[in-house]
Structure 1
């Protein structure tokens, strides 16, 4: 297998002799009922919640930063960490290669791609900045487009292309309230207004408001105009049922420590077969192979145990199922968000359309658009009601407060949020 170095082994592949992965805990699915799992099936979801050791200090409704490992995933991570810590480079240089390759195989199967189309990273930001900064088909005078709901680091990466590639950088503001066709029309209008566009950034599920974009439709429209698309799937993998191919984009970045529930520090970069040369290799690569996706990101030494625990996280996630998880979290979201839909004091920033909405949703007080004011609302929820949320800035029409339930949350948690918001409204 030419082109492999020790660093490539640490990124997720390579051949070496060794003892193999430590076995995943037998408790991966212990305690989960074999049937049921409808969104309001309290017994089933209590059994799922029992697999998490969540803090009792607050009602934790800010799970968008990363998602807590389930107990069997944490146990597997701790076992892997103990082994790596005990064997250090004796393990890394002799045995890690085939173990890492098996992890990559599991992730490739999860997202539906070939082993030559994926490499592991430390997070989606690392993957996406490698794609944005390395995209080499831009020429001076071309245009690149991103939106207000895209992640800050990715917006900065796109903006940097003005100086690095000599292109025009355009930011658009997505419609609020959003509709399925309205989002498609917004991107169509942007592409029409900027006919020299060559690169478009799309966030599948935005961290700011929870809005889910019709990525496949927008990507197909962009492709018909000769525009490449980079997709930020940091929040959507594990929360939306899709494959790399179904998105239609040739370049995608993922996180595995959000809704897949892996340890913090594992992401993935996808480049469709045949498109690798369109992304420059990392400058840290001495002699990069033209078609080697692993040469596009130079991670260096990383948390090996976090990578090795990814199969345990995938096992636990798949024992429940993405569609069932998505329906449950949307059910929890609907219990607080939809009763406030027409409340005179509040704006709900994601629509009721299930195609555009997952468990993550943001709100704001009507007319309250400042970042400091929304931070104060989040702080009041914590200090007065014991409910932990987070404010988000950067939305074109104003800052907001984000609410993100997880699998350990119960209906009573979101019901308490609803009661608190009604009380705050007076």
Structure 2
């Protein structure tokens, strides 16, 4: 029997009382921003469902399903959404006058704001239309490769970045090496795997490294891997599209020379916003974008050429960072890890359920994937996501790429309630029984 989300939550007794109310698609009245109570440890605040209900009220979320697929992009909180609409109207009204007068100064203010939060210099930041464009520009523009060199990525790296690394084969005359991140993943096993791969492939000169991958949510010890790569004269481009805004870190914690970031994922900025980072002193190692002469070669903005772009997302980044600062990275990280732990710890005893992130806190955030033992094909996992939605009204997504087979990715968000992830745990237990081989 197919049951509605409301019926299922009601059947869970006391869980229904903790379910955060969902905002309808109608206009919401002004809501006071959440105030983080002074002196409360982030770990304790993460469990305060009353506080997180006030945070959830900042979001317009469909009442028709439980959205646990927030890895694609992040819903804008209301202050950001409203600012974005104002900026769209402002851009449409001012037109070329805005673009030719005040926009560049405002974009530079956004760069400075990003740099401050990330702990870098504004001159090390160039705005892009997202993490994909940022990383493509870094990969395609990396100019230290010579014919006969090699580049490397893993099975868990983002598919578009894998394609860009493959493209270097014809672009730079290099070979492309692919390694597998071990399952089960641990910090030491990951470090050992990278050390072995770099040792076994001494011609590698460029490594793509996902801080948090989009398939399983595994967080790698970037700083240590960057260090071992440097010892072998290997440069690293870090994909931080999923980690920034979800985890509490600055660029100094990664110690990488090149990185790409998204602003429309965990920072909650509008779609079409991101940036790339190039450490001061390394700019010459990335080509000008299409030999563009809009900016001088010594300006990082010469490494991006997006044409006439929609500047409304850029103009809204300040508001998104304001909302991020209202909560703080440490508080966000604690809540998102708490939501992950709450459902995972209710199903990890099941012998046929495999959780693809380890229990080491430094190695996960909120993104976590699971699979049912033996159900490793694309069809198997599409069937699982279909059952989750049709029986429980829970929206998730199937992911491929992990070395031992496909999986289902689960991604709670700041508006997700304890009851939402408790419902997921009930659903996973049910599906583990139904899909047992």
TM-score > 0.5 by shorter chain: yes
Counterpart residue number, 2:96:
89
Structure 2 residue aligned with 1:352, among 356, 359, 384?
359
Structure 2 residue aligned with 1:381, among 388, 393, 396?
388
Alpha-carbon distance, 1:99 to partner: 1.4
| 2-structure distance, mates of 1:366, 1:257 | 34
Counterpart residue number, 1:262:
269
After superposition, what is the alpha-carbon deviation per residue over 1:195-214, rounded to whole angstroms, capped at 9, x for unaligned? 12111110000000000000
Alignment pair present for 1:190 and 2:197: yes
- Structure 2 unaligned blocks of 5 or more: 1-29
After superposition, what is the alpha-carbon deviation per residue over 1:76-105, rounded to whole angstroms, capped at 9, x for unaligned? 111111111111112111221211111111
2:366–2:411 CA contact under 8 A, matched in 1 = yes
| 2-structure distance, mates of 1:291, 1:90 | 27
| 2-structure distance, mates of 1:188, 1:386 | 43
Alpha-carbon distance, 1:286 to partner: 4.0
Q: Relative to 1, partners in 2 of residues 1:69 and 1:288: Cα closer, same or farther, differing over 3 Å?
A: closer
| 1-structure distance, mates of 2:237, 2:264 | 20
After superposition, residues 330-341 of structure 1 pair within 5 angstroms as 330-341=337-348
2:220–2:363 CA contact under 8 A, matched in 1 = yes
Counterpart residue number, 1:328:
335
| 1-structure distance, mates of 2:317, 2:408 | 31
Structure 1 residue aligned with 2:215, among 203, 208, 213?
208
| 1-structure distance, mates of 2:34, 2:47 | 18
- Structure 1 unaligned blocks of 5 or more: 1-26
The Cα RMSD (Å) is: 1.4
1:284–1:298 CA contact under 8 A, matched in 2 = no
2:36–2:326 CA contact under 8 A, matched in 1 = no
2:247–2:332 CA contact under 8 A, matched in 1 = no
2:294–2:302 CA contact under 8 A, matched in 1 = no
Alpha-carbon distance, 1:57 to partner: 1.0
| 2-structure distance, mates of 1:29, 1:232 | 35
Structure 2 residue aligned with 1:218, among 215, 218, 225?
225
| 1-structure distance, mates of 2:321, 2:31 | 10
After superposition, residues 268-417 of structure 1 pair within 5 angstroms as 268-283=275-290, 285-286=292-293, 289-417=296-424
After superposition, what is the alpha-carbon deviation per residue over 1:379-401, rounded to whole angstroms, capped at 9, x for unaligned? 11011110000110122211100
Q: Relative to 1, partners in 2 of residues 1:409 and 1:287: Cα closer, same or farther, differing over 3 Å?
A: closer
Alpha-carbon distance, 1:422 to partner: 1.0
1:260–1:313 CA contact under 8 A, matched in 2 = yes
Counterpart residue number, 2:13:
none
Please report the TM-score for the alignment, with normalisation by the length of structure 2: 0.89
1:29–1:319 CA contact under 8 A, matched in 2 = no
Alignment pair present for 1:246 and 2:253: yes
How many residue pairs get aligned? The number is: 400
Structure 2 residue aligned with 1:30, among 3, 13, 33?
33
Counterpart residue number, 2:10:
none
Alignment pair present for 1:162 and 2:169: yes
Structure 1 residue aligned with 2:70, among 41, 46, 63?
63
1:130–1:297 CA contact under 8 A, matched in 2 = yes
After superposition, what is the alpha-carbon deviation per residue over 1:44-101, rounded to whole angstroms, capped at 9, x for unaligned? 1111111111111101110000111111111111111111111111211122121111
Alpha-carbon distance, 1:287 to partner: 6.9
Alignment pair present for 1:77 and 2:84: yes
1:211–1:361 CA contact under 8 A, matched in 2 = yes
Please report the TM-score for the alignment, with normalisation by the length of structure 1: 0.91
After superposition, residues 41-56 of structure 1 pair within 5 angstroms as 41-56=48-63
1:48–1:408 CA contact under 8 A, matched in 2 = yes
Counterpart residue number, 1:40:
47
Alpha-carbon distance, 1:338 to partner: 2.2
| 1-structure distance, mates of 2:174, 2:252 | 29
After superposition, what is the alpha-carbon deviation per residue over 1:104-146, rounded to whole angstroms, capped at 9, x for unaligned? 1111112111121110000011010111111010111111110
Counterpart residue number, 2:23:
none
Alpha-carbon distance, 1:260 to partner: 0.6
| 1-structure distance, mates of 2:60, 2:31 | 14
1:338–1:352 CA contact under 8 A, matched in 2 = no
